[in-house]
Each structure stands twice: as C-alpha cells, then as structure tokens.
Amino acid sequence: MATTPAPASLSLELLPDRLAICRLDPEQADFDWDPGEGLLSVTFTDDEVSVVCDEAVAPADAEVSRGWRCLRVDGPLDLGMVGVLAALAGALASAGVSVFALSTFDTDHLLVRDAQLEQAVASLRSAGHDVRA
C-alpha cells in the first residue's frame, strides 16, 4: 500500500456530546444496556473491554471516566495516510492536553477532557488546523 503524508492543515469538528470512557472486566462485561445515540466504541482485549459512549448511558458495572469531548477529523481519510494522529496529538501534547485517540475506517477521533477543551481547540488552531464547534 502506498503511503501519503497528512496535509499540513486538517479540519476537525467538535461533536456536541459529553462522553465517558469505561473499563469493564471481560468476564463480567454485560452489554444488556441501551448505548444511546452518537459515538459508541467498544474494544475487546484479553485483559479488558473498553467502551466510549455518551455519559448518560455509561454501563453501571464499569469503571468510568466522565467529562470527555470528541474532536472528529473530517474524513474519509485514506488508510495509507501517515502522520494524522502525530500532527494533532503533537500539538495537543505541546499544550499539555491529554488525549484518548480512536480510529475508525474513515477517520480519527481525539477525546480531550472537557476542562481542557478550550486549550485543546486553541492549540490545534495555533498549529494551523481548522476546528469547528
């Protein structure tokens, strides 16, 4: 597969939902709950089940970190594109903003704490990226 460098300027959209990042034990994970609307990501490993969902529907039996917001990169992105996350996460790291990254087939999602949202948006814009609210 041929690779292409990420553009110097990326466009992102701030999604409206407040999200939760949840951890469940794989042997005890019970998915008999309503995932609601919006972003939902479930990742299974041998050691854990991680769920990203709307705060209002976080699984009751999970360890939950609330207060996350999502910046979605405009896509679709070519799967051969390199440097997208590096460009965005680097700008956020320089500003001291913690990131939880998710990738899908079409694009990347960066979750930042709501308390650091203004700082995150300002640092991304300062690095030349377009962020829409």
**Token couple for 52:** 């990203």
Residues 68-112: tens digit of each pLDDT: 999 999 999 999 999 999 999 999 999 999 999 999 999 999 999
Residues 13-60: tens digit of each pLDDT: 999 999 999 999 988 777 776 777 889 999 999 999 999 999 999 988
Q: Which CATH number goes with the domain that contains 77?
A: 3.30.2130.10
- Within-domain flag for 2: no
User: Domain range spanning residue 37?
Assistant: 9-132
11-14 and 130-132 as β-strands: parallel, antiparallel, unpaired? parallel
- Within-domain flag for 49: yes
Domain count, the chain: 1
- Within-domain flag for 33: yes
Q: Indicate whether this model's pTM tops 0.95.
A: no
